Amino acid sequence: MRSVGIVGIGSYVPENIVTNKDFELFLDTNDEWIISRTGIKQRHIAPKDMPVSELCYQAGLKALEDAQIAPEEVDLIIVATITPDYAFPATACLVADRLGARNAAGFDLEAGCSGFVYGVVTGSQFIATGMYKTVLVIGGETLSKVLNWKDRSTCILFGDGAGAAVLQPVKEGFGFLGFELGSDGSGGALLSQPAGGSMYPASLETVEKNLHTLQMEGKEVYKFAVRVMGEVSLKVLKNADLKIEDVDLLIPHQANIRIVDAAVRRLGISPDKVVVNLDKYGNMSAASIPVALDETFKSGRIAEGDIIVMAGFGTGLTWGACVLKWTKVGLEV
């Protein structure tokens, strides 16, 4: 089994910014209330005519440029999203076409906010076994398109964006050291988009009842998230035979500052080692972790050999974490 790491990263967010003050114009809320309960100050929102494939394309292009890899060299593209352009074809196929990755297989992966972690775990296996050399994993969302903008409990939380990572073989002892994934379908109804699938096909009734928009039981999701974020982080470290003291950076899913703070307390990790950027972007679901990873590296906070934990939770309910020893140097094979 070959060691697998991230040799290129990139991200993209739409230019349009919606601040908390903007919500005051049409919702019974205010800036102070939103910040105190979520930690979010603003979020980026895609134009109505911009599909998620465009965000994924831009992030994927930057990741390939960062890795100095031509699109023709990509063997597989995985797009983690719950807001695809279409039910089918897969967004990954559309992105492959835009990139010119004519030799790449492609498929979409749906695990909500855990999607990027699920994606890198899945992509790593193709490389570790020797089937492929280069896999592009993209987490992208345009959640603004499935929000009920009259529901202040949900619409203030989410933003749009995409982040990408190029996976390749790396020298032994570096790259991904451990994974942990999980799911609990009994909690599926706590965070869902009920209509549009085979359970509730689109109809006048489903539209009138707002069943094509995101529905969330906030208190229950919060309790689940606070518990699972700490647990999955500890499990993945155990899988890698590491301790919390070995961790240089924790990049958690950027959902809510209270959830992040609770996970930090549970883990006993220094807040200085925790990446938080949700104040600028809100909850970008599958895009939140890769965008945070890209920003953190570009800011100079990540060095060769650093131990990094990425952990997320999301609809499904799902959760996942991975730990890697950082290097961006690919291995010639």
User: From CA 242, how far away is CA 284, in angstroms rounded?
Assistant: 29
Decide if 103 is catalytic: no
Place of tokens 């807040």: 271
Instruction: Single out the residue of 238, 239, 234 nearest to residue 250, CA to CA.
Output: 234
Give the DSSP H or E segment for 99.
helix 91-99
Give alpha helix (H) positions in the chain: 20-23, 31-38, 52-67, 91-99, 115-128, 152-155, 204-208, 218-239, 257-267, 278-281, 288-298
Of the listed 44, 56, 93, 253, which one is catalytic?
253
**Residue 314 forms beta bridges with which residues?**
318
Instruction: Single out the residue of 91, 110, 89 nearest to residue 52, CA to CA.
Output: 91
Of the listed 93, 113, 155, 322, which one is catalytic?
113
The percent of the chain in helix, strand and coil, each rounded to the nearest 5, is 40, 25, 35
Of the listed 20, 56, 155, 283, which one is catalytic?
283
304: its two tokens = 């060769």
Decide if 113 is catalytic: yes
Residues recognised as catalytic: 113, 253, 283
